[in-house]
Structure 1
């Protein structure tokens, strides 16, 4: 029953991950371009270049914000990873530390002597 639940959670997470693959790529590209625009803005000395890099940065920032549903895809990827780890983990075998039948032969011999 536990494996069925893990399978269902994994299937839903995989579907959400695949559905958000496009926004995830858009978010990644937007963040890279935003980083380049920030570096260009910091390095620029001319006011026009600063204005240009700032404008590019604002446009890319708005584009990146529009890809925020990609966070659902990232969360789904984390859930899928956790389901994979849980599926492949083996539960430890529980053993009793104090076995009541450990000294059975000695106790049986004591009973036979009485």
Structure 2
């Protein structure tokens, strides 16, 4: 029963992660663009340059907010990870035999 439940959860979470690959890539790219813009904003000395980088950061922020389906994909990937980790854990009361001779 435990294996069947794991297979069902893994199948559903895997399909969700696969269906949100494009928004995940878009979220990654827009967050990277925003990070680059913030770094350049902090390093720029001119006021016009700071204004340009601030506009770029705001554009990247609005683009990353529009990738909300990527958050569902991240949650599904975490669910898949924790389900796999819980499945691989030894059941309670199970002792692994020591195969090494003292």
Q: Same fold (TM over 0.5)?
A: yes
Name the TM-score class by shorter chain: 0.7 to 0.9
Per the alignment, residue 19 of structure 1 pairs with 19
User: RMSD of aligned C-alpha atoms?
Assistant: 1.7
Residue 2 of structure 1: how far off its partner (Å): 1.9
Using the alignment, how far apart are the partners of 2:36 and 2:51 within structure 1?
A: 15
Residue 38 of structure 1: how far off its partner (Å): 0.7
Secondary structure, aligned partner of 1:62: helix
| Aligned residues between the structures | 95
Structure 1 residue ranges without an equivalent (≥5): 95-114
Residue 30 of structure 1: how far off its partner (Å): 1.0
Matches within 5 A, 1:75-94: 75-93=75-93
Q: Deviations over 1:29-51 (max 9, x none)?
A: 11111011011111111121111
Residue 15 of structure 1: how far off its partner (Å): 0.4
Using the alignment, how far apart are the partners of 2:52 and 2:82 within structure 1?
A: 44
Structure 2 residue ranges without an equivalent (≥5): 95-102
Matches within 5 A, 1:1-114: 1-93=1-93
Using the alignment, how far apart are the partners of 1:90 and 1:47 within structure 2?
A: 60
Using the alignment, how far apart are the partners of 1:88 and 1:78 within structure 2?
A: 15
Using the alignment, how far apart are the partners of 1:93 and 1:35 within structure 2?
A: 48
Using the alignment, how far apart are the partners of 1:92 and 1:63 within structure 2?
A: 47
TM-score normalised to structure 2 length: 0.84
Runs of 4+ in 1 over 6 A off after TM superposition: none
Residue 79 of structure 1: how far off its partner (Å): 0.8
